[in-house]
Amino acid sequence: MIAFIFIGVFVTPILAIIFCINLVEIMKKIKHDQKTAGNTFWLTVSFMLIVWTLAICASMGVN
């Protein structure tokens, strides 16, 4: 469980940056009608890890 606290404190900001960058790239690619599969995968993975970490830390009672 300490791994989730470490991820929550140190890795979540990095995942948030990855999430934002991929979201902007997807919007640019949609505008130019390009494929977005790779960016969509990383956007989904980063969002899933952020939410999962927050949920685990919340269930442990970590503020």
How many domains are there within the chain? 1
pLDDT value of residue 5: 81
The helix (H) or strand (E) run that includes residue 39 is: helix 37-60
Beta carbons within 8 Å of 28's beta carbon, 6+ residues apart: none
pLDDT value of residue 60: 85
pLDDT value of residue 63: 60
pTM: 0.81
Q: CA angle 59-51-58, nearest 5°?
A: 15
pLDDT value of residue 21: 96
pLDDT in tens, 14-60: 999 999 999 999 999 999 999 999 999 999 999 999 998 888 888 88
Q: Give the domain extent around 38.
A: 2-60
For the chain, how far is it from start to end, CA to CA, in angstroms?
Answer: 14
2-22: average pLDDT: 88
